[in-house]
Amino acid sequence: MRSPLLNALLSKAAPETLYHYTNQTGFLGIIRSRQMWLTHTQYLNDRREFSHAVDLAKEEVESRLSAEPTTSNKEILLAMKKALEPNVATINVCVCSFSKASDSLSQWRAYSHPSGFAIGFPSNFLREIAQNGLFYFAPCIYDQQEQRQIIRAIVDEAVEDVLNPQSESSESEFGDYLERRGSLVSYLHRYAPLLKHESFKEEEEWRIISPPLFNHIDGYDFREGRSLIIPYYKLRLKDSSDEFRISDVLVGPTLDEERSVNSTINFLMHEEIIKVFPPRPAPVRSSRVPYRDW
């Protein structure tokens, strides 16, 4: 049984709209394909992804071992300590990111080359997409005290699974280790992408997180990166009614603001995101951040 703390994290109410920042190529691809590319956690821009949570877990396990646990618990904790060794991050878990901020200077700096976009998605739509695929949808946690509480709950749950194994198992296209019982590493892969360094706090990030993925399943693929190839997963952005929904689009700082807004509206009409008949207000606006990169 998942702890109340972990249940609360995964069921936390999201803002009405969350924004995905991307460049021109990403914007065109998302709208045309009705897909989002979820990047493998080991290939994100934060070099401490996953290892930050592993370090916290190591500290928690060491603390419990120092507290003279019972014989059975000690054996479990020693096994967990051994599992938290180098190469623990080899399981394929992929994520995509959204921000509460609709017009963020730091995000434009990252994605406005040569111009960027923030796609607004209804959060209830994103939650349904995640749940339909057995993915997680939750906010990132930046406060270290709260992170340690989450790690304690994860270790508690993993220990409990060993002491009282459940007979039921989960099966899906993502493999029989989706709910690997008693494995601290499997729990970390589930929650580690939500534990981010406090220096990223201004992003106010929410994430969709995949379960562990076999690299031969449909949707798992590779793309060209700056210095290496990057694994990713193609997530279908359609709800149970087979609809693709966005709330609005923010055009990032650009030299030619008026024409950029107009071409974006034209493109969304072409892709039938904006309906011409009956006419509706175009959900496209330009950034108000006075950032110049030209």
Q: Return d(Cα 169, Cα 157) in angstroms, integer.
A: 16
Domain extent, residue 25, equals 4-99+121-248
Quick one: tokens of 103? Answer: 């017009």
Residue type, 75: E
pLDDT tier for residue 253 given thresholds of 50, 70 and 90: very high
Between 49 and 122, the higher pLDDT residue:
122
What pLDDT is recorded for position 98? 97
Q: Where are the alpha helices (DSSP H) in the chain?
A: 4-10, 24-33, 51-66, 71-83, 105-111, 123-132, 144-163, 184-191, 257-270
Coil, strand or helix at 209: strand
Integer Cα distance of 111 and 115 in angstroms:
7
Would you place residue 219 in the very low, low, confident or very high pLDDT band (cuts 50, 70, 90)? very high
- Contact by Cβ (8 Å): 113, 23: yes
Spatial distance between the Cα atoms of 267 and 292, rounded to a whole number of angstroms: 24
Give the chain's domain count. 1
Cα distance between residue 35 and residue 233, in whole Å? 10
pLDDT tens digit string along 191-217? Answer: 989 998 888 888 899 999 998 899 999
Closest CA to 192 of 200, 182, 184, 202: 184
What predicted TM-score, i.e. pTM, was given to this entire model? 0.88
**Structural tokens at position 281:** 């207000």
Predicted confidence band of residue 176 (pLDDT cuts 50, 70, 90): very low
Lowest-confidence segment of 61-75, 137-151, 228-242, 251-265 by average pLDDT: 61-75
Please check whether residue 114 lies inside any domain of the structure: no
Burial 223-259 (b: 16+ CB within 10 A, else e): eeeeeeebbbbebebbbeeeebbbbbbbbbbbeeeee
Residue 206: name the closest of 218, 196, 198, 220 by CA. Answer: 196
Q: What residues form DSSP beta bridges with 224?
A: 229
pLDDT on residue 180: 45
Q: Which residues of 146-172 are buried (b: 16+ CB within 10 A; e: fewer)?
A: ebeebbbbbbebbbbbbeeeeeeeeee
Within a domain: residue 143? yes
Is 34 domain-assigned? yes
The answer to whether position 57 is within a domain reads yes
CA dist., res. 116 & res. 141, Å (int) = 26
pLDDT of residue 47: 63
Residue 130 lies in a domain: yes
Tell me whether residue 39 is in a domain. yes
The answer to whether position 275 is within a domain reads no
Helix, strand, coil percentages for the chain (3-state, nearest 5):
40, 20, 40
> Is there a domain that residue 179 lies in?
yes
Task: Report the pLDDT averaged over residues 17-31.
Answer: 96
